[in-house]
Chains A and B, each alone.
Chain A
Amino acid sequence: MSKIKTFTTGGIHPDKFKLSSDVAIEDAGIPEVVTIPVRQHIGAPAKILVKKGDKVKVGTLIADADGIVSADVHSSVSGEVIKVEENETGGGYLEKMITIRVEGDEWEESIDKTPDIVSEITSSAEEIVQIIRGAGIVGMGGAGFPTPIKVTVPEGKKVDCLILNGIECEPYLTADDRLMQECAEQIVIGAKVINKALGIQNAIIAVDENKPEAIKALQQVTRRYVGVNVQVCATKYPQGAEKQLIAAVTGREVPPGCLPIDVHCVVQNVGTAFAIYEAVQKHKPLFERIVTVSGDDVKKAGNFRVRIGTPSSYLIEKAGKKSEIGKIIFGGPMMGIAGVNLDAPITKISSGILILKDESAYKPEVNPCIRCATCVDVCPQGLEPYLIHSLIRNGEYQEAKKIHVLDCIECGCCAYSCPARIPLLDYCKLAKYEIRKNK
């Protein structure tokens, strides 16, 4: 086994709370009604192709990508379109969504529903990119960047390393962990498919040290596949962030304002690799994903295979809540967003739903900064959050820009470790908002 690696600048060790890492993935079933947003990715919303009254099957294209930075959206259920209008997202803002009433479970004929694993890759590199585009695959780690762009090498650039991100450094979340344990072979084939699209031979699956089962499962499979290796990384947050992961695995530093491709790396989430396997080998578009439902207020924390568009309340019902919900977070506790709408649909990028008790959700009282520089020690980007905080309080946004606040990845290490409990991340976000607004 190769050496355990990690990144060097900053990082924290929050409590893991991986309550559901040994709970097998359970099929969440199909709700009565699903609401599918047409924008589940970064970029332009997809163009709606259906209207009220249309019949759709599982896997039917219902919204078409509008431009390059956009993604197709497919129906996750079979039934009748009953509404095409604006609905509330998790944050409460309105987005165009397609509401479908479920009737039966009829799939498009082209989808291969058998559980057999298809390991032979017959499609060419161009075909693979086309299939990924047609399956509406986006980065499933949380950012939702359309994948077709990431698996095409731009002219004049070179790629020598594909990294699959199986770190899942956020506390509570175990969706990727379970996927690696149960579908290791599919992920590895997915990696080979991406390799073919990029025209390279090797892939590294980076997994956190705290997932021994997943590491074992992957190592058993990778023996049979040439070029795919498992790299164990020391447990540290935010190792799953793209730039930190590249630093950990390859030792290369992505300069400010540059993309991983500039240091010859491509990073894909293991969930994305699995979705690519299903799209290319099984002709199945992206209409379901694994979601962790966890938190200290959940009766039975678990991992569910969920159809896109399922209301969050349906999943919460499945997992069971102990008491009145104190706080609901979509995503992980470090970077997720607090929800105001319990019926918000699961999207391609929802990795988890956290239900927290009232008392654990409250923020403690804020004290003055004592210039201890803990935030500087833990910032993985090497910024000075305490200084940004005092500049923003005085409205000095241009000064904050000079000390690179725009490079902040919003991981929340500073706010987590601040002994004075100053919401440092909020100030960084505010600075980024102000600077971008005045540009």
Chain B
Amino acid sequence: MTEIILFNIAILSVIAVIAAIVLYFTAKKFRVEPNVLAEEIAEILPQANCGACGSAGCQDFANRCATSTAEEFRSLYCPVGGRNVMTKIAQKLGYAAEDHEPTVAVLRCNGSCENAPDKVEYVGLKNCRLASRVFVGKTGCPNGCLRLGDCVRNCPFGAIEMNPKTGLPEVNPDKCTSCGACVRICPRGLYEIRPVGPKGVRVYVACNNKQKGATARKNCKAACIGCMKCTKVCADVKVENNLSYIPTSVSAEQYGAELASACPTGAIVYTGEKNEQN
């Protein structure tokens, strides 16, 4: 009995020694030099692995930064970490940090329960992408928010929350990193990444309905009817397919309040109003 045990131990020891020798030489031969710089940059990054920068994750982005030239580095930006993180990385690399304007996601729909009341009841799976395939939506607007919250569930930073009063998702600008997950998930393409704007003041058209005015208004009180009044306030505002679009180049501080008050339906949202009242 004891011999068998000893014999087994001996065999295993021999195997262990052989394996150790093989492993030692393999490790020497195939050794990969760790990129210390990339490791350090990865530590600075937020490690959200959201893909908003266009790389396949934070480690990939770090590798790209570490191997980039000053010219290439200028085009790299981590929207989640923002300016702070990019400055730190730039210091590590000895480059100058490019100034990127902070951005935020906005919902281009104002079809709240009040503006666009439900016409039918939907009892299927609570999922926007599925519902948009099955039918036009509870409100009847073929371009509007379905209010089933795919964006809320898919936001990696918990920045979007359903407002029970309006029924619409709301983006918290403090938490939003403009990673673009909501832009990709929304079947109606309602989200847009826009600059936060100076002092957080922005102006945009909260409507995506391309129907004619009368048809659009039938379903939603706050629909853009393509009346062209906004184009008279600022010539840069474009109206195409009965839908107005305010380019990001239009200064919210200068035109925001005027644009919002010119819109007869309230489709233009100006976030600055509250600040002025304070």
Contact = CB atoms under 8 A, between A and B. Distances in A.
Given A93-B136, A340-B136, A426 B142 contact: no
B17 interface: no
Interface in A79-131: 88, 91-94
Contact of A362 (B120, B123, B137): B123
A423 interface: yes
Contacts of A430: 125, 127, 129-130
Given A337-B135, A340-B135, A434-B129, A93 B142 contact: yes
B135 A92 contact: yes
A433 interface: yes
Interface in A413-439: 423, 426-427, 429-430, 433-434
A425 to B, nearest CB: 9
B199 interface: no
A92 B124 contact: no
Interface string B123-143: 111010110011111001010
A426 B133 CA distance: 11
Given A426-B125, A427-B125, A91 B134 contact: yes
A338 interface: yes
A363 B123 contact: yes
A363 B124 contact: yes
Given A340-B119, A423-B125, A429 B135 contact: no
A338 B134 contact: yes
A93 B134 CA distance: 10
Interface in B107-133: 119-120, 123-125, 127, 129-130, 133
B202 to A, nearest CB: 29
Contacts of A340: 119-120, 135-136, 140
A259 interface: no
B211 interface: yes
A363 to B, nearest CB: 5
Contacts of A88: 136
Interface in A348-376: 361-363
Contact of B135 (A91, A94, A362): A91
Contacts of A338: 134-135
Nearest to B140: A92
Nearest to B211: A94
A337 B134 contact: yes
Q: Quick one: which of B120, B123, B125, B140 has the most chain A CB within 10 A? A: B125
Nearest to A425: B125
A388 to B, nearest CB: 13
A429 B130 contact: yes
Interface in A326-353: 337-338, 340
A94 B134 CA distance: 13
A373 to B, nearest CB: 21
B142 A94 contact: yes
A91 B136 contact: yes
A92 B124 CA distance: 16
A337 B125 CA distance: 14
Q: Quick one: which of A92, A429, A433 has the most chain B CB within 10 A? A: A92
B56 to A, nearest CB: 15
Contacts of A429: 130, 133
A91 B140 CA distance: 9
Nearest to B138: A340
Contacts of A361: 123
B135 A426 contact: no
Contacts of B211: 94
B97 to A, nearest CB: 34
B146 to A, nearest CB: 12
A238 to B, nearest CB: 19
A338 B136 CA distance: 11
A92 B137 contact: yes
A31 B188 CA distance: 36
Contacts of B134: 91, 337-338
B142 to A, nearest CB: 6
Contacts of A433: 129-130, 133
A155 B123 CA distance: 47
Contacts of A423: 124-125
Contacts of A92: 135-137, 140, 142
A340 B140 CA distance: 8
A272 to B, nearest CB: 26
A280 B271 CA distance: 66
A427 B126 CA distance: 11
Interface in A305-327: none
Contacts of B133: 429, 433
A427 B133 CA distance: 12
A88 B136 CA distance: 9
A430 B126 CA distance: 11
A338 B122 CA distance: 10
Contacts of B136: 88, 91-93, 340
Contacts of A94: 142, 211
A429 B127 CA distance: 11
A156 to B, nearest CB: 36
Contacts of A91: 134-136
B130 A426 contact: yes
Nearest to A424: B125
Contacts of B123: 361-363
Interface string B145-178: 0000000000000000000000000000000000
A429 B130 CA distance: 7
A85 to B, nearest CB: 9
B5 to A, nearest CB: 44
A429 B129 CA distance: 10
24 contacts: A91-B134, A91-B135, A92-B135, A92-B136, A92-B142, A93-B135, A93-B136, A94-B142, A94-B211, A338-B134, A338-B135, A363-B123, A423-B125, A426-B125, A426-B130, A427-B125, A429-B130, A429-B133, A430-B127, A430-B129, A430-B130, A433-B130, A433-B133, A434-B129
Given A92-B135, A338-B135, 19 more contacts: A88-B136, A91-B135, A91-B136, A92-B136, A93-B136, A340-B119, A340-B120, A361-B123, A363-B124, A423-B124, A423-B125, A426-B124, A426-B125, A426-B127, A427-B125, A429-B130, A429-B133, A433-B130, A433-B133
Q: Which 8 A-B pairs have the closest CB atoms?
A: A92-B136, A426-B125, A91-B135, A363-B123, A430-B130, A340-B120, A423-B125, A93-B136
